[in-house]
Amino acid sequence: MPILTESFTPRDLRSLSVSELPALAREIREAIVSQVARTGGHLAPNLGVVELTIALHYVFDFLHDRLVFDVGHQCYPHKLITGRLGLLEKLRTREGMSGFPEPAESPYDLFRVGHAGTGISTAVGLARGDLLNAESYVPGVRNDGRRVVTLIGDASIVNGVAMEGLNNAGTLGRQFLVVLNDNGMSISRPQGALAQYFDRVRVSHRYGEFKKSARRILGHVPGGDSLIDAYHRVGEMTKAIVNEPSSGGGWFEHFGLLGVGPIDGHDLPHLIEFLGEARDIDRPMILHVKTVKGKGYGFAESDSSRFHSPGAFTVVGAAGSTSPEDPDSERSDPDLPGTDPVSTAKPALTSQGCRVEIKPEGRSFTAAVSDALIALMERDPRAVACTAAMPDGTGLGKVMAAFPQRSWDVGICESHALDMMAGLAKTGFKPFFAVYCTFFQRAFDQAFQEASLQGLAVRLCMDRAGLVGGDGAVHHGFCDIALLRTLPGTVITAAIDEPSLLAALEFMRTYDAGISSVRYPRDAVSAVLADRPCPPFELGKARLIHRAPRLGSAASAAQSADPDPDVAVLAFGTPAIDAIAAAQSLSGEYDVAIYDARFAKPVDASLLSDLLSRRIPIVTVEDHGVIGGFGSAVTDTAAELGLDASRIVRLGIPDHWILQDSRRAQLAEAGIDVPGITRAIRHAASLGNTGDRPATADGHADALHKPVISS
């Protein structure tokens, strides 16, 4: 009889005996591995926190108390404990369970989160709000008041926002528990001095030694049978106990937090005991918990970076082996190591009687960037590169192996990374910062102050630009163009395939007047244009890539004397590939010219002037927010040139949140897939050259994917 059911709640959990909890932990792990094997998702982070999550829900009541996740990609056990087993089957789709905390799913989720370092600060806000509302726990006054808990990883806590949160948390003067989940990993190995400090603590100290030491000293304190009793009787002595050099807690004392640990994060009885004592300590406290990322499955423990967020996979030759249910699923991640070829097991996995195969997804843009940067750095000794905790996800892992003295992983510190790149630019180097588009937002202030304002050439490789699929709204890269367009001297490019990506990077290598960026999606590279050469990038110049004339027309893309097309499509980035398909589907009906716009800043003003002066309707299409994006840049340029922009139809990500689903479904929702572009071309063609000014739409695509009409 299974313990975990679709109706399971934390109340059911608290009705179990402690001896029954390991069985529940096994069922949670089995459910997670079985589902992620079919659809992909965050695996190793969730396997590592199963016991910790069980213990937290066993001790606290998070319908009343507050639980805040930092990042949130370790929330699957929490969701299964809080009644969402029925949503697991459609993990990371609109109909199923989000891969991150989602308040729309459950009152147990307080924030949508997907960026590291924020949990402590938002929890401090909750703690202050509960104090002001007279709802917080106060010993002897409001014993039933709300407690506040935040769960953060050892890689996330080095983030600047987390440091700011810790600094302020120490001033709370009330119960506030930070649980530091220390698995020695983020997606890959944490970087920096603090990570090295945690390494020393793990090596020099074990939970059992800490517990014996604490109990031995507390045994000499009258009534000191627990941390709570001892703290309230002799606060300074307790401080000395939990912050003695071997405990590793002394570092946090500088922030005004009581530090305890490290303790074993997979020892349920002791976890529950310590959390039960920490629950009623009325001052800010940090509990340092040591866990194993990927716990319970040898393949995930042995290669937790690769299995951080794998695509669909098969475990072969082991009891309870699993295989992908949908071999064509788009919810897998093509950007992880091992997904280009079918992966074979490492010896450590084979010794456990199994191997793991991840479905190949074709060559990704990330893999292409990795190879391109290596080639670029080989021919230019002034080129350097860095990433912020994403060496595998951005392709920098191979670069760092090839150029260990000229490439760096700085940890989850995007702001620092961009500042460091500015410093390198100042000393004459050519820095490339490979970053997830969604995480670049955290470094925008540094792009403004330390790079653009100084006229320094920092080069941004914007991975996962646009809609990202299963990770959903927390990870979409939808506002980088809007942000960067505001900075003088910045050049913004996009790649449509691998040859254009290489050409963009080479252009950026030689552009020294300011910031430059190239954006590309979480997707495989297209081979649609593989049979033709890709010309170099010229500043502010678009490229004609396809002409689909009406049947019977003599129009040809190679002839400058062609009759005017019915519609011109200016595509920024990979939507150009779908635009070609849309034009081909209309070739018997409309004469359509497709341009690879290449630049969102500066826009090709001469092309725009030529098209509009001939009264040719234009469709702009981009995988970016329609507000402030490439289409906006086109209409802004038209206004600056004094041109009539009434025949410009803009397609982009609409002005509402697009939630988790396959990338294909998200593109369809935004109206920037082949059918959506086809509809936009038809609409633009209907405008013709009559001069009639269409009604302006409401700023976003509606349920029918009505294009935005720029006026």
Tokens describing residue 599: 């630049």
Average pLDDT, the chain: 84
d(CA 624, CA 654): 9
**What's the confidence (pLDDT) of residue 634?**
98
**What's the confidence (pLDDT) of residue 260?**
85
**Contacts by residues 345-353 (CB-CB < 8 Å, ≥ 24 positions apart):** 345/299, 346/302, 346/303, 348/298, 348/302, 349/298, 349/299, 349/302, 349/303, 352/298, 352/299, 352/318, 353/317, 353/318
**What's the confidence (pLDDT) of residue 344?**
30
Geometric angle at alpha carbon 551, from 546 and 554, rounded to 5°: 70
For the segment 431-454, the average pLDDT, to the nearest whole number, is 97
**What's the confidence (pLDDT) of residue 254?**
76
Tell me the residue length of the chain.
Answer: 711
Predicted confidence band at 253 (pLDDT cuts at 50, 70, 90)?
confident
**What's the confidence (pLDDT) of residue 51?**
97
3-state secondary structure of 505: helix
For the segment 295-320, the average pLDDT, to the nearest whole number, is 74
Distance of CA 29 to the CA centre of its chain: 23
3-state secondary structure of 202: helix
273-303 tens-digit pLDDT? 999 999 999 999 999 999 999 898 888 887 7
Flag whether pLDDT at 639 surpasses 70. yes
588-637 tens-digit pLDDT? 899 999 999 999 999 999 999 999 999 999 999 999 999 999 999 999 99
Flag whether pLDDT at 141 surpasses 50. yes
Predicted confidence band at 196 (pLDDT cuts at 50, 70, 90)?
low
d(CA 152, CA 109): 15
DSSP H/E element including 408: strand 407-409
DSSP H/E element including 622: strand 618-625
Flag whether pLDDT at 137 surpasses 60. yes
Predicted confidence band at 250 (pLDDT cuts at 50, 70, 90)?
low
**What's the confidence (pLDDT) of residue 358?**
58
**Contacts by residues 162-167 (CB-CB < 8 Å, ≥ 24 positions apart):** 162/70, 162/116, 162/117, 162/118, 162/119, 162/120, 162/121, 164/121, 165/117, 165/118, 165/119, 165/120, 165/121, 165/123, 165/124, 166/120, 166/252, 166/255, 166/257, 167/255
Residue closest to 265 by CA, chosen among 411, 94, 74: 74
Q: What is the 3-state secondary structure (H, E, C) of 658-690?
A: CCCCCHHHHHHHHCCCHHHHHHHHHHHHHHCCC
d(CA 118, CA 121): 6
Flag whether pLDDT at 17 surpasses 90. yes
d(CA 291, CA 368): 34
**Within 234-363, where are the H helices?**
235-242, 250-253, 268-278, 298-302, 347-350
CATH fold of 543-709 reads Rossmann fold (3.40.50)
Give yes or no for a contact between 310 and 336, defined as CB atoms under 8 angstroms apart. Answer: yes
Residue closest to 96 by CA, chosen among 112, 72, 111, 80: 80
Residue closest to 208 by CA, chosen among 200, 197, 196, 216: 216
The DSSP call for residue 142 is B
Between residues 94 and 344, the one the model is more confident about: 94
For the segment 1-16, the average pLDDT, to the nearest whole number, is 96
Residue closest to 392 by CA, chosen among 444, 436, 348: 436
- Relative orientation angle of helices 235-242 and 207-218, to the nearest 10 degrees: 160
**What's the confidence (pLDDT) of residue 414?**
95
In DSSP terms, 146 is beta-bridged to 136
Residue closest to 492 by CA, chosen among 507, 476, 477: 507
26-54 tens-digit pLDDT? 999 999 999 999 888 899 999 999 999 99
Predicted confidence band at 228 (pLDDT cuts at 50, 70, 90)?
low
Query: Which of the residue ranges 23-37, 178-192, 695-709 has the most confident prediction, judged by mean pLDDT?
Result: 23-37
Give yes or no for a contact between 600 and 573, defined as CB atoms under 8 angstroms apart. Answer: no
Same fold, 365-519 and 543-709: yes
d(CA 78, CA 102): 12
Distance of CA 259 to the CA centre of its chain: 30
Flag whether pLDDT at 695 surpasses 50. no
For the chain, the structural domain boundaries read 365-519, 543-709
Give yes or no for a contact between 9 and 61, defined as CB atoms under 8 angstroms apart. Answer: no
For the segment 651-679, the average pLDDT, to the nearest whole number, is 96
Flag whether pLDDT at 527 surpasses 90. yes
**What's the confidence (pLDDT) of residue 183?**
86
Flag whether pLDDT at 239 surpasses 50. no
Q: Which of 167-171, 535-539, 577-581 has the lowest mean pLDDT?
A: 167-171
Flag whether pLDDT at 243 surpasses 90. no
371 to 8, 378, 399, 421, 561: CA distances (angstroms): 48, 11, 8, 21, 40
Give yes or no for a contact between 604 and 578, defined as CB atoms under 8 angstroms apart. Answer: no
- Rg (C-alpha) for the chain, rounded Å, is 28
For the segment 456-468, the average pLDDT, to the nearest whole number, is 97
Between residues 331 and 667, the one the model is more confident about: 667
**Largest Cα span, the chain:** 99
Task: Please report, rounded to a whole number, the percentage of residues in the chain having pLDDT higher than 70.
Answer: 79
In DSSP terms, 51 is beta-bridged to none
Q: Which residue has the tokens 């769960």?
A: 151
- pTM, full prediction: 0.82
3-state secondary structure of 55: helix
Q: Which of 481-485, 505-509, 689-693 has the lowest mean pLDDT?
A: 689-693
For the segment 365-393, the average pLDDT, to the nearest whole number, is 96
**What's the confidence (pLDDT) of residue 647?**
95
CATH architecture group of domain 365-519: 3-Layer(aba) Sandwich (3.40)
**What's the confidence (pLDDT) of residue 139?**
93
